Structure formats: structure tokens, C-alpha cells
Structure 1
């Protein structure tokens, strides 16, 4: 497995005792525990027992391969059905990829030419890994998924246990080069108390799921591969460090202080506000009714982002208006009488819809995705708005509706007219730098804005958010990104219209205070982050937030920005 291709420390490796490795912090918290590492498959050559499959056996071997892929996909579907939130989302998407006809067909073709199934699986996946890597952007995000599927199928063909993260006997810190979404989604926070990876970025699947599970996490850690299993490490998910073999007393004191802070945060029950009473909505991100009901058990005041496309990823045909209305009603009923913001289909790129007829594109991250899907398929948006309107009527809870990937004021105007025709409140996502620069003109047509910091960082910094080499660039603390956030918030304040943040940046308690100081009116994050964000806001004044925001905007790097906020807010 790619996540297992790690070189463990040998006697000749450099000594990391008492050293502090640095990376990008993504989930706050402190953990002190022994290291575990993922298991791995033997080499492909060790698993291939024949040089060529006899012609008489090729149909049987092809069928065995197909059955193995389906068995892997079915296990992933079952895990998705028992998960919620981002974990359910990525497991479902990985299951869909496991049955994708493109790579399956490439493997079957090789088997029918005499290539053993294990070797054919590896070769077919590598063919698509190379293709996706060259395409870059969001398609490159699927590389880890493909390699994860490859190893699971090969294990099934070879009669071996599925590779992945072992279940430790004691609470442990998991270190890996990278983690497939399916592995991250299955982590038990009671046993995996910290997580660090060599690769990945602050908006990678690993980071997003770790945030949902509230596991302290640091990514893009230089030197992590040299830390052996069994070593004790102190992981600081706020400062972004992994200290190897630290002083035990110091480490235990750090863990005790973190637990004390977490216990204090757990007593926060909302509503969102600074200590001097400045209101800031603290909301939850969801993708279906189950996730909304789970979010309802937190102090979340509503839903700031309902990702509707995740309900339709496996659909062979477009769901009817009635089917869509039932799905939306499930979420609206969970937060009856409270704010719910629905995002229209953010499909395309890494989230293709089978019924949308997506074109082949050289760079899908910059292609037909989000609102652009409706340009050639207007009925998809019209039917979705009809379904939302029907759900609003059925539940008596009228949601706000926003479009993703808006780039111009004309696009916002057209979308707003369609939303208002259904009696709903229109808004748009600010993910494209042009939209942030034109926020004042876009606000002439819509009633609210919501900033998606994940894509805004990616497009502002011209850096693939999944690239391990560029993880520091896609850090939401980048001053260039925060300047665009400040510009957007200022435009909203000038006309008295709300501007929220629904990207992963809203889940960082420290950054949440800075966003508040910039003028952001609501923060929507994974359910697991809601309490920590609300508690941190309640501990500071609006003036402190504004001072921190001013200090951050004066910096020239993400590291400086984070340090400036810590100095201002503690």
C-alpha cells in the first residue's frame, strides 16, 4: 500500500531522539503515545506464482478478478452505511471507484491476454495513476484511492487479510506516508489518539476525516519516515510538531493541559458569540439526514453547508423531484425552525455524476464543475430547485440556497433569479478569486455569501490542495487567502448582508477568531469541531479578534500569521 511504503529506521538511519519534526497543523490537540504504522502487502513478484495464465483458465481468472473487486467494493459500501459525515462520503466514493469500468476493463483485458490477475491489477491501476497524476488538480486526489483499492483487490485475490491500519492494543499515534480515505474513515479515536503523515495537506481527505473524528493531526511532516514503530512521540496538533522521545514529564504535562482545555470547551453549549456578546453563528457541515441528526446533538445552531451532490454520486439516472424533496426534507426536519444552507450540486471533476454527461477535460479542476454543470444541463438545476422548494413546503423550513464555483456577477444574477422564482433565499459560494474581488457586485444580486476556503486557497495559491509538496501553500492561514476573505467580508458589511465561511478553516478555533475579526458572520464546520470553535470564541472579545485579524493581515507567510494570532489570542 502507498501508505505502507515506508522505510523504517535502521541502525544506520539518522537519530531522531528528542528532535521535534514540523509540519502543517490541521486538527488541534495533544497526544503522547507509542507509534504504530500501517501494515503492507508483500511485493507483487512474491504474490505472482505463474508466468502466464493458460488460455483455458483466462475466463475463470477474469471472473475471479471481477469477484474480488466486487467483494472489496461491497465491504466499502457496508462501512459507508455505518459511518456518518465525511467518513461515509469518502467510503462511498472509494466503493464507486472500486467498480469503475475503466480500470476494471483495463485489468480484465490484461488477464485475457495471459497476465496473472495480481499483476494485471497492479499494471491497470498504475496506468490510471499516471493518467490522474498528469491531469493534476482534483483528479490527482484519486491516486491514493486507486492504490488503496489496488492493494485491497490484490489481498482478496491472494487470500490475504486486507492491508491497512492495525488495531493497537494500547492508545497509539499513527504515523504514515499517507493514508487512503478508507483507512482514515475506519480509525477508532479511542485507540488512535494522534495522526501524522508525510504527505497530504490541510484540506486532504485524511485531514478532513481526522477533524470529524477529533483526532489531533499534523500533515506534511518532514522527517516523519525515519520515526520507527514503537517510539514514543508527543504530537501537537495546534503547533504542528511531532517530538520524538520527548522528556516524559514535559509530555505528560502537555497532555494534561490539553485535556483540561478540552474539558472546559466541552461545557460550551452555544449560541455562538464572543465573550462581549458579538454574535457569530456556529453551524455544521452535513451531507445527508443522518449527518444532520448527528449534528443536532452538538451545540450547532443550524447547517451552514448541506453538500447535496453526495446523495447522488452513485445514481445511474437523475433522481426525480419527489426523490430529491425527500432527501432535502430529512435535513430540514433535523433542524426544524433553524437555519439550513443548501449548496446546489457541486459535481464534476472528482465528483462526476453519471447522468450529467461530463466531458473529458485536460484539467477538470478548472473545467465544468459546480454551477457550470448546469450551463449545458439547465434541467438539473431547475429540478433541484424544485425539489428544494417542495421540501421547504413539506417541512415548513425554508432554506437558504447557494451555488458553487460562481465566477462572475452575471452568473450570480442568473442563479439568484432562478432561486427567487421558487420562493427561496439566494446566495453564492466564494471559491474563485475573481468572485472575492467582485464580491460587492455579486452582492447586488444575492442575499448572502459563503466562503469555501478549501478551493479558495487552492485557486488563489495556484497549488493543488492534495499535493504533498505544496501543502504549505494551501494552508488557509496564507495571508493572500485571508486578504481575499477580508475583502469579501468587508463587501458584505457595507451592504448589511451576511458572509460566512464553510471551508475547513472554520474548524480551526484559533483561525475562527481571526475570521470573526475580519468580519465573518458565521462559521460552519464538521460537527466534531463545533464545540471547540464555539468555546474559543466565547473566551475572547471582538476587539481581541479584530486585533488578531489586523496582526495576521500584516504578515507575509502562513507560519507568521499563525504565530501572530497565537500572540494576540493565546
Structure 2
């Protein structure tokens, strides 16, 4: 069972993957399967359904599955709610239904029509690449759920371990990951996925140690004992139990110290760093406001509208935004991102249909080019919410590629009396950050998309997980360029992508000159506590060694060696 990849050395008793959520766990393996009873499938296929009867059965199954996913989205928050709501929308997609119904009309059986249509769209999404390719796991999971509902079987999903265990899977769908029981799932190990996949994002939100893109993971036997190191990405098979227990105990002691951190964030020698939370709506904002944060560095407004067919009025939008602003109050910062619709976040009243490559198409600010009223009404609503709540939110636009786009957006925001900024997700924005800061008040780096666009690598391609790692030196170089531009201009530069939630990487980001870090609430205390243990000089050294590293694993190792506690 030997697997050696770049980074930490692996032996015949170890596997190596990409670490995404720190922590150490030791326990028996439980392998997740997605099989549906062959007997149930055979029994269903004995029925002689007409095309109309099959369509009726399909629509009923879609309704049940979509509602189940929407209910789960409503019962959770943050990234989990986002991806569950998006998958519920995928279940109701008219294009997918049309593909199935078309095959039914040609005489194909219902189960085969569903399977073939799912694979048709999976192939299409894969060809599109980028964040659309990321939806393939969700799409195939949806196909399994529809099939189970059609044949009358319980929906597929991860098993519930009888004892605390390490969950191993090819990949996990959001509907499974979002509802994991942290008392029974000690860690996640997946054979596919990348550092910014849905599984990684939700695992980070839940605080479960996670290693993705582990070749050979499915070769692990259920019941075998493994030690998962979410910092190095190494999975040790059948380690010495005493040694493993000691390492877990040390990790738990370390975790307890981190969880005791109460803010505000600063380095050990007093350099202030804003630690903020990413939020999606009133409920997630109210939850995040209880954490030791100085506000929200990313309010994802599009998540309020994933299930809306019609654009809400200015007044209705203002009420939604006001709920988030009220949760943090007038003394804490809230950065409102205008609609980041498109690609993997379709919003019916905004997103363009039929794009060949949505990840590189009309998304984010680009939607306003052909529909300027969409942005104008949203800015009016944000200004109205600010006035009604007595707050002064910052407003930023996503997917900004040119200085002129930034200037035009800033004029509209400032015309409403609010600070204006843009996201740095496109490499051009990082390379020209000094010129962007001549026309905006702040920048916020979205490392998920910046990494994908810089490395030209699909975030869901397991074979390319090493490229979609935010520790890539080329990505960090763009972050450093942006942060230095902010330092020279005397303006804030934050990071609101998943990179901000990595305590180790956070030290290097601060050393580059990043002034704020926004993340899932679960990551706030570990990041804040880590920064409190290092001086600004150490942070700057961490930045230097990370930027000088030959690859992500080397960067992690170098920074860890620099800041590891005695």
C-alpha cells in the first residue's frame, strides 16, 4: 500500500494526501459506499411503466429529493447551507429533467434514462472545467438519490459508525458531509477532491480533521486502525497504538489551548490583525457574531437568493441585508459582496443560461454589464439597510478583471456613501493591485478562485490537487504582490478564501502584509490563537520561507518548523 507524492515521505504503511483541516485522529476505518440494493432495482425494472407514468414517477422523486436537500440546507449554515441549497436547485434543473423525459419518449427505461442523463451532464460539466467540474460529485450523488427514491429504497449516504471512526470515501457529497456527527466521525479521508472542494470546505466548517486526494484510500480495510494527520496529510496504517494515542492526546491539548482564545487578534508583539467570519444570511451572522470576531469579511449575498425565481424588490433585499448588519452592530465591520451569481451558483433572475464555460464567463460583476439595473438595485438595497440599521458596511464586487471595472464600481458605491472595494480572484487584479488601489478603498483576496485561475487547474480533479493548493508558491506570490500594494497605499488588504482558515498559512499571510482574515466560524479560534503565539518578525520569516518553497508540502514543512511550539 505504498503511495508517495510530493511532500512528506510515505512508507509501505502510510498514504499521503493533501491536508485541508488540521488535527490528529486515530481510530478504525469505516468505508462509505453508495450502493443501492440490486434487488430493489430489479424489482422496479419488472414494472411496465408508460412514458407518462415514468415522468410522473420522476417528478415525484425530484420533488421529494429536492425538498429533503432544501430542508437540510435550512437546518445548517455557512458553506454547508450554500452547497446543499445549490444541489437542491440542481435537482429541480429543467435541463436535466428534459434530458430524462426525452429519453423516456424514445423508449428508454426510467432508471436508465436518469443514469444516462446524469452522465451526459457530468461529462458536460467536466468539459467546462473549473467550478462547474466541481459539481460532478454533487450531480452523481443526486442521481443516486433520485434512483433510490424511485425504487423505494432509503437514500444512500455515509454509514453511521457504531464507534468513533475515520470515514474513508472516494468523495463525499455535500448532503452527506454537512450532516456528519462529529462525535462519531473522527476524521475524513477521501481519494478524490481538492483543498477547495465542497467536502474540504464543509469539513473545515465542522472542524473535522480532513485529508483529500489520497491515492489508494479506498484500499483501506474497514476496521483497520489508522492515524490521520490533518497537518502533514499522512495517513498511517496500523501504527503503534500507544504512540498514536499519545499523538492524539498532544493534539487535543493543543486544540484545547486554541479553543480558549477569546480575541481580539494580534501577533505576540501587538500587530493587530482583523479576524472575521464568512456569513451567508441572518442566521449564520447571528451565530458568527457570538465568536470572537471583529465582524464579517465576506457576506455572500447571492446565497440569499439561490431558490428565488424572481429578483426581490429593493425593500425586500434591504430587509435581508439588514438582518446581517444588525447581528454585528455598528461597531464591527461587515463586508458585503455583491451578487457572485453564475458558474456553480446559479441565480434564476441573474445568471445567463447556455454558456460554454461559465467559470470563465459572465459571473459576478460581469452580470451588471448587460443588466446594470441588477447591480444598481442591490446597491440601493445595501445603502437602505445601512441607513435603517445605523451601520456603515463595506461593499465589494467579485470577478473584477480591470482597473476600469473597479473604478466604475467604486463610483457607484461611493455615490451611496459607502466604502468600495473589489475581490482579487483574477490574476490580473493581483498583478495590477497598486493601480486598483488608486480607485478603491480596499481589496479582498478570494484564494479559492485565485488559485484555480492562476494554476489553470480544476478544483475537483484529484490528480491536480497539488495544483489547487493555496500554498502553491505562484499563488502566494500574487497574494504577496497584492498585500505589498496595500501596504504602500496604506489601504486594507484581506483574505476571505479558504486559505484564511489555515492557522499555519495565516501566519505567512500576515507576514506578507495581509491585514484581515475571514473564515468559517469554526476556524476563528485556532487562527487567532496561532497568531497570538508568533511575533510579526516570525510571520515575515514564515512568508519568506513559504514564498521560497518549491511546492506546497515544502512550504508547509518550512513554516511548521519555524513556528512549531516547543
Query: Is contact 1:370–1:403 with CA below 8 Å preserved after alignment?
Result: yes
- Spell out the pairing of 1:307-346 with structure 2 (5 A cutoff): 307-337=300-330, 338-346=332-340
Task: For residue 513 of structure 1, report the CA deviation from its aligned partner.
Answer: 0.4
Report the equivalent of 2:458. 464
Q: 2:287 aligns with which of 294, 306, 313?
A: 294
Change in CA separation of 1:330 and 1:390 when aligned onto 2, cut-off 3 Å: same
Change in CA separation of 1:44 and 1:416 when aligned onto 2, cut-off 3 Å: farther
Paired residue secondary structure (1:95): helix
Report the equivalent of 1:556. 550
Paired residue secondary structure (1:550): helix
Report the equivalent of 2:106. 113
* Post-superposition CA distance 1:389-412 (Å, at most 9, x none): 000001001100001111111111
Q: 1:135 aligns with which of 106, 128, 133?
A: 128
Task: For residue 429 of structure 1, report the CA deviation from its aligned partner.
Answer: 0.4
Deviates more, 1:355-364 or 1:416-425: 355-364
Report the equivalent of 1:480. 474
Report the equivalent of 1:252. 245
Q: 1:216 aligns with which of 209, 222, 244?
A: 209
Deviates more, 1:209-218 or 1:313-322: 313-322
Q: 1:406 aligns with which of 375, 383, 400?
A: 400
Query: Is contact 1:53–1:111 with CA below 8 Å preserved after alignment?
Result: no
Report the equivalent of 2:538. 544
Query: Is contact 1:48–1:116 with CA below 8 Å preserved after alignment?
Result: no
The separation in 1 between residues aligned to 2:337 and 2:82, in whole angstroms, is 16
The separation in 2 between residues aligned to 1:119 and 1:43, in whole angstroms, is 16
The separation in 1 between residues aligned to 2:130 and 2:39, in whole angstroms, is 32
Q: 1:19 aligns with which of 13, 34, 40?
A: 13
Report the equivalent of 1:531. 525
The answer to whether structure 1 residue 34 and structure 2 residue 58 are counterparts is no
Paired residue secondary structure (2:275): strand
The answer to whether structure 1 residue 227 and structure 2 residue 256 are counterparts is no
The answer to whether structure 1 residue 184 and structure 2 residue 174 are counterparts is no
- Spell out the pairing of 1:351-500 with structure 2 (5 A cutoff): 351-356=345-350, 358-500=352-494
- Spell out the pairing of 1:501-520 with structure 2 (5 A cutoff): 501-520=495-514
- Spell out the pairing of 1:83-162 with structure 2 (5 A cutoff): 83-162=76-155
Task: For residue 112 of structure 1, report the CA deviation from its aligned partner.
Answer: 3.7
* Post-superposition CA distance 1:148-174 (Å, at most 9, x none): 111111111111111111111111111
Query: Is contact 2:14–2:237 with CA below 8 Å preserved after alignment?
Result: yes
Paired residue secondary structure (1:221): coil
Query: Is contact 2:340–2:363 with CA below 8 Å preserved after alignment?
Result: yes
Report the equivalent of 1:3. none
Q: 1:172 aligns with which of 158, 165, 168?
A: 165
* Post-superposition CA distance 1:445-499 (Å, at most 9, x none): 0110100011111111111112111110010101111111111011001011010
The separation in 2 between residues aligned to 1:60 and 1:554, in whole angstroms, is 63
Gaps of 5+ in 2: 2-9
Change in CA separation of 1:555 and 1:40 when aligned onto 2, cut-off 3 Å: closer
* Post-superposition CA distance 1:342-388 (Å, at most 9, x none): 01111111112211250422221111111101100100100000000
Query: Is contact 1:302–1:335 with CA below 8 Å preserved after alignment?
Result: yes
Paired residue secondary structure (1:487): helix
Report the equivalent of 1:13. none
The separation in 1 between residues aligned to 2:133 and 2:61, in whole angstroms, is 25
Report the equivalent of 1:11. none
The separation in 2 between residues aligned to 1:50 and 1:399, in whole angstroms, is 56
The separation in 1 between residues aligned to 2:557 and 2:376, in whole angstroms, is 47
What value does the CA root-mean-square deviation take over the aligned residues?
1.7
Query: Is contact 1:29–1:237 with CA below 8 Å preserved after alignment?
Result: yes
Paired residue secondary structure (2:476): helix
Query: Is contact 1:48–1:118 with CA below 8 Å preserved after alignment?
Result: no
* Post-superposition CA distance 1:171-230 (Å, at most 9, x none): 111100111111111111111110010100000000000000000000011221210111
Query: Is contact 1:52–1:116 with CA below 8 Å preserved after alignment?
Result: no
Query: Is contact 2:297–2:518 with CA below 8 Å preserved after alignment?
Result: yes
Report the equivalent of 1:12. none
Task: For residue 52 of structure 1, report the CA deviation from its aligned partner.
Answer: 8.5
Query: Is contact 1:53–1:116 with CA below 8 Å preserved after alignment?
Result: no
Task: For residue 45 of structure 1, report the CA deviation from its aligned partner.
Answer: 9.3
Deviates more, 1:137-146 or 1:427-436: 137-146
Report the equivalent of 1:241. 234
Q: TM-score, normalised by structure 2?
A: 0.95
The separation in 1 between residues aligned to 2:223 and 2:151, in whole angstroms, is 29
* Post-superposition CA distance 1:486-541 (Å, at most 9, x none): 11011001011010100000000000001011111000010000000000000111
Query: Is contact 2:28–2:225 with CA below 8 Å preserved after alignment?
Result: yes
The separation in 1 between residues aligned to 2:478 and 2:76, in whole angstroms, is 35
The answer to whether structure 1 residue 204 and structure 2 residue 201 are counterparts is no
Change in CA separation of 1:357 and 1:462 when aligned onto 2, cut-off 3 Å: closer
Report the equivalent of 1:281. 274
Paired residue secondary structure (1:183): helix
Task: For residue 321 of structure 1, report the CA deviation from its aligned partner.
Answer: 0.4
Q: TM-score, normalised by structure 1?
A: 0.95
Paired residue secondary structure (1:523): strand
Task: For residue 320 of structure 1, report the CA deviation from its aligned partner.
Answer: 0.6
Gaps of 5+ in 1: 1-6, 8-15
Task: For residue 442 of structure 1, report the CA deviation from its aligned partner.
Answer: 0.5
